[in-house]
Structure 1
Amino acid sequence: MSSKKTVILLLFFTFFSILTNAQEKKWTLNECVAYAMEHNISIQQSELDEKLADINRSDALAAFLPTATSRGSHSWTIGLNQNITTGLLENQTTQFTSFGVDVGIDIYNGLQNQNRVRRANLAIIAAQYQVTKMQEDVALNIANAYLQVLFNKENLKVQQEQLKLDEKQKERIADLVEGGVVPRGDLLDIEATVAADKQNIITAENTLLISKLSLAQLLQLEDFQDFDIAESDYEVTESSVMLQSPDAIYNKAINERTEIKIAEANLAVAEKDIKIARGAYQPSLQGFYSFDTRASYADQIIGFEPDPNNPSSVVGFLNGDSDLPVLQPNFRSILGGPDAILDQFDRNKGHSFGLALTIPILNGFSVRNNVQRSKVERERAELQLEQQKVDLERNVYTAYTDAKGALKAYEAALSASEARQQSLEYATERYDVGLINVLDFNQAQTLAVNAQSEVLRTKYDYIFRVKILEFYFGIPIIQQP
């Protein structure tokens, strides 16, 4: 074989191996939860709220900085205006440019800026708790969906195994019918049983597919056709949390649960809102500074010269004799263009600065109403905290009761399954010697299969109930390696 063909074959097998591995990837529970933490839309929305809270804190901090604004204007005045050189009204166009800068700073405003910063910090903490709460909820939902897929997988195996047993029984009965040992009706009955088994398998496959789809949607997977999970065998063990009393679990949960921390943070935010609103009752003091300058584009007088059109004017008479007038020479203005713009800006500049004190006297009760509104919101936050505590206590007791009940149901299902299995073995022995018909035997098989399915259902239900109880006790849904 040539080296070129060897390289092509190696590339082909490498690509095939990568493709096969990609299709055969089995997701563990930890991988599912970790993936959801990065891609779940609800978590991403909560993280955006956290970013907004951080931006709001930047706004609160920026309120301590001075404000600075610049302004400028250039205007044209067209029409009848006074000529500044002649003092006469004339139709003319004049231009004027002005420029200024204003700077202001809050010196005191009832500590509102300081309280806004403190409020913004608390809002960030509340947003962070909200992200954590969303992550916990998503992890809990994924664990439930993951265990549901595991149950459906195990249930499908039970149905498939039952089909194999019934098909073997069908072959055996067919041989007995052919030998004339049993009637043909027994063969028809077992064929109907095999058909029912195949229908049960189709139902189990569809249920498994739907549960996989639900889990893939929680993970925000685009390519969910080949999605599958690792077939982990979760052992049923009594959790140490089950040895705790409901009161002990609640007392630990009330100090660690995220929803309580969110409610407490929201209450602290409401307290700061009251302080901010009350700050408007106090006087405020601001410092200010302004710089202004201007320039004109009008002609200006730069000198005078004798008026050739009117050289002199009579201002009086000598000795009251009209023949001896006293003459005064007349001059006219010499006009020139405007000074350089920069020179005018430099010559006309001015500064002003000072302090401005504002004392609220009457403002339509807006400050009072804002304070009252903030107090109402604080009461709402207090009630929300109390409600969260009540809900948490109810949820803890419910989770504890559900976990205890699920354990008892699992133990009862195990006992029932063992009894049904012994009953099936006894029915098999009796059927082999012809003491019962095929209908009674099939009924014993069906009851045994149902008992196996009930064991699986109660097993995964107990595992999930325990995870919920551990969740309230502060144990994460997944254990970090």
Structure 2
Amino acid sequence: MKKSIIIALFLFGVFAQAQSKKWTLKECVVYALENNISVKQSELDLEVADVEKLLARGNFLPSLNIGSGVSENTGLSFNPVTNNAQTTTFLSASGNINVGYTLFDGLRNIRQLQRSDISKLASQYRLDKMKDDISLFVANGYLTVILNKANLEVLQSQNEVTKEQIERTEDLVEAGALPRGDLLEIRATDASEQQLIINAENNIQISLISLAQLLLIKDYENFDIEDEGYDVVDTGIADKSISEIIASAKESRSEIKIAEQNVELANVDLKIAKGANLPTLSAFFGYNTRFANTTSFAQQLDPDNPISTQQIGTVEGTGEAVVADFANTILTEVAADPFINQLYQNDGIGYGLQLNIPILNGFNVRGNVQRNKVNLERSKFQLEQAELDLESTVYQAYVDAKGSLKSYEAAKTALESQQLAYDYAKERYDVGLTNAFDFSQSKLRFDNAKIELNRAKYDYIFKLKVLELFFGIPATELKF
């Protein structure tokens, strides 16, 4: 009984710990990279690239094929051993081994191997880009949850102040120091704040569900994140020049690497297409044998009368007959040779070289070459466009980060001013020098300043991290 209680308490503790687990940003990013469907699809593309490389390597190996067949013939058929037409029923079998090897094919096998290496590298870059994008989505969703939680804390803390003001105003109204309208104004403010709190709680839940869906976590009710310890952490990226960030982005970003590999792929495809203009030389070797169980007929000496004498002519002048001895043969039926004996008696070998020289093929090769030339030029333009797009994106991210920093600093200054205004309004309200409406308006501006500071803070954090990603810092190494 005691042992069962201990086990139950242990399981309850494990369950409670699982229920209260809060995910950090790094845990969310790592989990998303391991479970996100888009990442898994990109990983499958990488596996397909491995298959393409295996096939390209196989082009350097000889081909080996073994074939066999068994058939039964009834009626008039050709004997595969004697090649004679026979009207009978017989069983026949055949077997062959063929080996082929390409000695030269216009270097296309070498180009295919080069292409498979480039294709695998391009797939890896696409996977890296997908991981960067997913990490950015997770970070944005995570910071959205933190922002909503921070806004809820602001609303709840300010509502506590409002409730205190309600209690104090009730006392002053009962004492006749304040009109009853001030109490109604404060209560209206409390009702509005309660509504904002409910909306903020809903925003938190919605943002948590969105983040959980991005992570493919189905337990929405128990999913929560660690919302402590996240602040503005500048690793020095804000002090770097835009040209330095763009240069680093061109060296590290997957967008440029993918476009560069596409140019390489188009270049190799053009070489493969040109290789079709060259002759191909291949070697072959074949071995075959056959068997049939049908009987055959053979001429044999008559055992009873092996020699017969026949006249073959006469002597001119005397008329004497000229005779000769001939073998006296009879037609006899011979059984089929044993299976093993026929295999080596009826076998054959063939080998040689085959040369194919392309002369005229309906302009197929020429058209394919021209098509690949166009694709090469298109991929070069795409690389140039990718560089321009990256420059524009990085420059936009740089401007956004600078602008969000200014907005964040302005929000801090505005909060300080609203704090002073609120404190002043509170002091005046406490001594009865201002009414409840003016005080509630000052408090509302103070609340909005806090919320705006939260928004500006996390907006700056996110845009700062975007800039760090462009600079080449891995998503899992970003500091908050």
TM-score w.r.t. the length of structure 1 is 0.91
80-89 vs 212-221, which moves further: 80-89
Match of 1:61 in 2: 57
Corresponding residue of 2:185: 189
Instruction: Name the residue aligned to 2:336.
Output: 338
CA gap 1:168/1:357 in 2 versus in 1, 3 angstroms? same
Q: What amino acid is aligned across from residue 192 of structure 1 in structure 2?
A: A
Residues 82, 90 of structure 1: 8 Å contact kept: yes
Mapping for residues 80-479 of structure 1, pairs under 5 Å: 80=76, 91-236=87-232, 238-301=234-297, 304=300, 306=302, 331-479=329-477
| 1:251 Cα offset (Å) | 1.4
Moved more, 69-78 or 464-473: 69-78
Q: Secondary structure at the match of 2:42?
A: helix
CA deviation after TM superposition for structure 1 residue 466, in Å? 0.6
How many residues are matched? 473
| Structure 1 residue 8: Cα displacement | 3.0
Is the CA contact (8 Å cut-off) linking 1:143 and 1:477 kept in structure 2? no
Deviation at 1:128? 0.8
Q: For residues 79 and 139 of structure 2, what CA distance do their matches in structure 1 show? A: 88
3-state SS of the aligned residue for 1:360? coil
Distance in 2, matches of 1:79 and 1:282, equals 51
Task: Select between 440-449 and 246-255 the one with higher mean Cα deviation.
Answer: 246-255
The residue aligned with 1:8 is 4
Contact 2:125 2:257 in 1 (8 A): yes
Go from structure 1 to structure 2 and tell me whether the alpha carbon gap of 1:453 and 1:343 turns closer, same or farther (over 3 Å shift).
Answer: same
Provide the C-alpha distance between the structure 1 equivalents of 2:82 and 2:348, rounded to a whole number of angstroms.
Answer: 28
What is the aligned counterpart of 2:47 among 51, 65, 80? 51
Following superposition, the deviation at residue 89 of structure 1 comes to 7.7
Moved more, 76-85 or 467-476: 76-85
User: 5+ unaligned residues in a row in structure 1: which ranges?
Assistant: none
Instruction: Report if the CA contact (8 A) 1:85-1:300 is conserved.
Output: no
Counterpart AA for 2:22: K
Distance 2:469 2:326 in 1: 110
Change (3 A) 1:326 1:353: closer
- Counterparts of 2:292 and 2:420, CA distance in 1: 112
The alignment-based identity, stated in percent, is: 43
Q: Is the 8 A contact 2:59 2:109 kept in 1?
A: yes
* Shift in CA distance, 377/341, structure 1 to aligned 2, threshold 3 Å: same
Q: CA RMSD in A?
A: 2.8
Is the 1:29–1:478 Cα contact (8 Å) retained in structure 2?
no
In 2, the alpha carbon distance for the partners of 1:362 and 1:82 equals 40
| Deviates most, 425-434 or 463-472 | 425-434
Counterpart of 2:473 in 1: which secondary structure?
Answer: coil
Deviations 1:360-414 (A, max 9, x none): 1011111111111111111121111111100111011101110111011111111
- 1: distance between equivalents of 2:409 and 2:193? 27
Partner AA of 2:420 in structure 1: Q
Equivalent residues of 1:239, 1:466 under 8 A apart: no
- Cα offsets for 1:25-78 (capped at 9, x unmatched): 111111111111111111111010011001100000011000011222333443
Cα separation, partners in 2 of 1:84 and 1:250, compared to 1, 3 Å: closer
The 1-side partners of 2:258 and 2:314 are apart by: 106
Counterpart-to-counterpart distance in 2, 1:151 and 1:273? 51
Instruction: Write the deviation string for residues 325-367 of structure 1: whole angstroms up to 9, x where unpaired.
Output: 9998965322132111111011111111111111110111111
Deviates more, 1:387-396 or 1:433-442: 433-442
Distance 2:337 2:370 in 1: 61
Structure-2 separation of matches of 1:88 and 1:20: 89
Q: CA deviation at 1:206?
A: 0.6
Distance in 2, Cα, partners of 1:129 & 1:179: 75
CA distance in 2, matches of 1:458, 1:359: 71
Contact residue 410 and residue 462 of structure 1 kept, 8 A: yes
Give, in angstroms, the shift of residue 313 of structure 1. 10
Q: In structure 2, how many angstroms separate the alpha carbons of the residues matched to 1:118 and 1:85? A: 49
Structure 2: distance between partners of 1:327 and 1:333: 19
TM-score (norm 2): 0.92
CA 1:66–1:24: 2 relative to 1, 3 Å: same
Distance in 2 of aligned mates of 1:86 and 1:109: 40
Deviation at 1:11, TM superposition (A): 2.0
Q: Which amino acid aligns with 2:197?
A: I
Cα distance in 1 for residues equivalent to 2:211 and 2:261: 33
Q: Contact 1:85/1:301 (CA < 8 Å) preserved in 2? A: no
Q: Which amino acid aligns with 1:419?
A: S
Where 2:476 maps in the other structure, the secondary structure is coil
User: Would the alpha carbon gap of residues 327 and 359 (structure 1) be closer, same or farther in structure 2, given more than 3 Å must change?
Assistant: closer
* Alpha-carbon spacing, 1:181–1:110, altered in 2? closer, same or farther (3 Å): same
* Paired residues of 1:318 and 1:326 also in contact (CA < 8 A): no
Which letter does structure 1 place at the counterpart of 2:464?
Answer: V
Whether the aligned pair in 2 keeps the contact of 1:97 and 1:294 (CA below 8 Å) is yes
What SS does the aligned partner of 2:227 have? coil
1:145-203, CA deviations, whole angstroms, 9 ceiling, x for partnerless residues?
11111111111111111111111111111122222222222222222111111111110
Select which of 18, 23, 28 maps to 2:19: 23
Residues 208-254 of structure 1, C-alpha deviation per residue, up to 9 Å, x if partnerless?
11111111111111222211111233333555111122112111211
Change (3 A) 1:327 1:50: closer
What is residue 37 of structure 1 aligned with on the other side? Answer: 33
- Greater Cα shift, 297-306 or 250-259: 297-306
> What is the rounded CA distance, in whole Å, between the counterparts of 1:107 and 1:304 in structure 2?
53
Gap regions ≥5 residues in structure 2: none
